[in-house]
Amino acid sequence: MNSATINGIEISYGDRGSGRPIVFLHAFPLNQSMWNDQVEALSGDYRVITPDWRGFGGSSPGPATMDDFADDLAGLLDHLGVTEPIICGLSMGGYAAMAFLRRHPGRISALILADTRSTPDTEEARRTRLETAASVRRDGVAILLPGMTQRLLGQSTLATRPDIVERVNSMILSANSEGVARALEAMAAREDSTGLLRNVDVPTLIICGEEDVLTPPAEASQMSRAVHGSQLTLIAGAGHLPNIEKSAEFNETVMAFLRNARTLNG
């Protein structure tokens, strides 16, 4: 695994393959390994970059807002000499991708938003997040189980794929409690990005698992209406993590979109 000091924080990242760069931004409370199937499938044709957010995976914790995540990403891209990558953010990775668009406009060549939303938290969601942050600081990340995994995965996966349940549980249990608490606070404070999406002018794909209960397909449709000319694809039999639950369908959707986006980009 690679690492670099970015904005004073040790950021760990994967960097495999060569070609057009694509950056995959992980969800909460996971880490870059959630993208292992995408690294395998795409690194033959693309340079696949998979950072761990500060406080997750191999990255050291630090103060965290969505803007900090976005600036860490910009710093990492500078460090790697990457200009105009394709950005794919899932859930919290999508929130950070939208913060990146706001803070670093004109730096991406295509956008993929998976299982995320452009709207901020409701008051109630914000309160719950802050309570959860306090509980995680006090009692550790194990208190997130089993509820978090049950919300992340779709009913079909929960019923038939104990291996995936185990994989997600162990990613959650390996998370750093301070990193998790700070990310909860960062998500609670995030801005509304719906207006920003109306100005996106790069090829955009919106993906959502049909069984996603955290950011349901209605959220994906709303984002798709906001981004002019975007493609919306729903993945059957998957919940909030279609890249893991239905990795072949997810990868095929992404690769087909990118082949088409290349044509659109000339």
CB of 153 closer than 8 Å to CB of 164: yes
| Burial zone of 97 (CB within 10 Å; 0-12 exposed, 13-18 middle, 19+ buried) | buried
C-alpha dist (Å) from residue 173 to 31, 56, 64, 211, 214 = 11, 11, 20, 24, 20
Under rule CB under 6 A, residue 31 binds ligand MLT: no
CB of 73 closer than 8 Å to CB of 25: yes
DSSP assignment of 100-161 equals HHHHSTT--SEEEEES--SS---HHHHHHHHHHHHHHHHH-GGGGTTHHHHHHS-HHHHHH-
**CB closer to ligand MLT out of 80 and 219:** 219
**CB closer to ligand MLT out of 187 and 197:** 187
Under rule CB under 6 A, residue 223 binds ligand MLT: no
For the CB of residue 266, give the shortest distance to ligand MLT in the complex, in Å: 34
Q: Please select the residue that binds ligand MLT; options are 13, 28, 35, 257, rule is CB under 6 A.
A: 28
Q: Please select the residue that binds ligand MLT; options are 101, 113, 187, 208, rule is CB under 6 A.
A: 187
Measure the CA angle with vertex 198, ends 196 and 203; round to 5°: 105
Q: Please select the residue that binds ligand MLT; options are 39, 64, 92, 108, rule is CB under 6 A.
A: 92
Q: Please select the residue that binds ligand MLT; options are 59, 91, 247, 253, rule is CB under 6 A.
A: 91
**# residues contacting ligand MLT (CB under 6 A):** 7
How far apart (Å, rounded) are the C-alpha atoms in residues 253 and 6? Answer: 32
Helix (H, G, I), strand (E, B) or coil at 70: helix
Under rule CB under 6 A, residue 27 binds ligand MLT: yes
For the CB of residue 112, give the shortest distance to ligand MLT in the complex, in Å: 15
Task: Count other C-beta atoms under 10 Å from residue 263's C-beta.
Answer: 8
For the CB of residue 168, give the shortest distance to ligand MLT in the complex, in Å: 11
**CB closer to ligand MLT out of 171 and 261:** 171
Under rule CB under 6 A, residue 243 binds ligand MLT: no
Under rule CB under 6 A, residue 214 binds ligand MLT: yes
The residue ranges that bind ligand MLT (CB under 6 A) are: 27-28, 91-92, 187, 214, 240
